[in-house]
Amino acid sequence: MARKQKDKPDIVAVAKAAGVSISTVSRSFNHPDLLKPATRKKIDRAVQKLGYIRNRAAQVMHGRRSGTIGLVVPTIDNAIFAELIQSFSDGLDQYGFTMLIASHGFDLDREYKMLRKLMEHRVDGLALIGLEHSDATHQLIEQQGVPTVAIWNYANDARLSCVGVQNSEAGRLAACHLLDLGHRDIGLVFPDLTGNDRAHDRLHGALSELRRKKIKVPEEWQLQAPYSIADSKRASLSLLGKSPRPSAILCGNDIIAQGVLYAAKHLGIAVPGELSIMGIGDFKGSGEIEPSLSTIRIPAKRIGALAAKQIADAVTGKSAGTTATNYELSVLVRDSTATPSGMAHT
């Protein structure tokens, strides 16, 4: 028979079972980094043995922190943010916080609604993807005074504290790689830019570099595809099946690049012999597919870990004010890009 509500173990029972003080048990939940690993293990064993669960709602009612951080991402439907989310969650765990996650589907109005719901759950802090958010979202964050960090994008004049990279530089570096190989007939496949400052900045960076080299990309070589391998493949078939076609395609991220790669394979176009394909992101698996994907590495694990530390420090009062951290990008040259063949694509 299940234990009655009144017989549920309390923090006193946990402290007794672990052989430590009540304050030490409390510290293990709220500031685990302050305890020795051996002490934390004793408390964890006691908690598991007794089936102890903290009453977070009561703590919040008494003005104490909930121990939760809300993360709102555009999508959890593919690998785009998987590594970042995992790193952020692992980092929060080290500081005694739990992550609550929500997705807004690249809809900034819906993002605002998600934030309201998370605040209703009394999260201690918030993390958002990118720097483009609705005025209502910025106003809500400022009105409520909830510590917030923006992840993935960097700008030294950002309205929110941010940890990320300059995505315009990612686009520029990707274009430079193809240009350095000798490509001049370059196509572009990017997602919808609405509510997506990452894609917008990458495309802007790539186009700026191409214009600097006096290269104009024909309208019919500029495609839009969702963050989907299947959709990207379908969109690319029409471009690659026509003549003339580009000698290289620069993609907004590795998911789209994989779709282009499969479209080329479907049409019997050799990569990189007849077509070079460049991605951005360096997602898991990009180095293992055949041919392996040349791309721009964004250090997702490092970004997630530092973002977790920054929001934890902001919540606990160890830091104050707006901070901005920019990580360097690197070009990973793999098998999907090469010098263009002698075939004319003009």
Predicted pLDDT of residue 77: 78
Q: How far apart are CA 206 and CA 198, in angstroms?
A: 12
Q: What mean pLDDT is reported for the chain?
A: 90
Instruction: Specify the higher pLDDT residue, 31 or 342.
Output: 31
Kindly give, in sequence order, each residue whose CB lies less than 8 Å from that of residue 120, ignoring residues fewer than 6 positions away: none
Q: What is the layout of strands, in order, in the sheet containing 248-251? A: 222-224, 186-190, 248-251, 276-278
Task: Return the DSSP state at 160.
Answer: S
- What is the pTM for the complete model shown? 0.80
Predicted pLDDT of residue 52: 78
Predicted pLDDT of residue 59: 53
Predicted pLDDT of residue 62: 43
User: Is the sign of the CA dihedral 257, 262, 264, 265 positive or negative?
Assistant: positive
Chain position carrying tokens 């028979």:
1
- Residues 73-86: b if buried by 16+ CB within 10 A, e if exposed: bbeeeebbbebbbe
Residue 188: which pLDDT band, with cuts at 50, 70 and 90? very high
Q: What is the pLDDT of residues 288-336, one digit of tens each?
A: 999 999 999 999 999 999 999 999 999 988 887 789 999 999 999 999 9
Query: Which of the residue ranges 1-10, 20-29, 81-90 would you say has the lowest mean pLDDT?
Result: 1-10
Per DSSP bridges, beta strands 295-297 and 222-224 are unpaired
Residue 32: which pLDDT band, with cuts at 50, 70 and 90? confident
Residue percentage of the chain with pLDDT more than 70:
93
Residue 346: which pLDDT band, with cuts at 50, 70 and 90? very low
Kindly give, in sequence order, each residue whose CB lies less than 8 Å from that of residue 317, ignoring residues fewer than 6 positions away: none
Residue 342: which pLDDT band, with cuts at 50, 70 and 90? low
Distances (CA, A) of 210 to 108, 142, 148, 219, 324: 30, 39, 36, 14, 29
Task: Return the DSSP state at 220.
Answer: G
Q: What is the pLDDT of residues 33-88, one digit of tens each?
A: 788 999 999 998 988 888 877 665 555 544 456 789 999 999 887 777 889 999 99
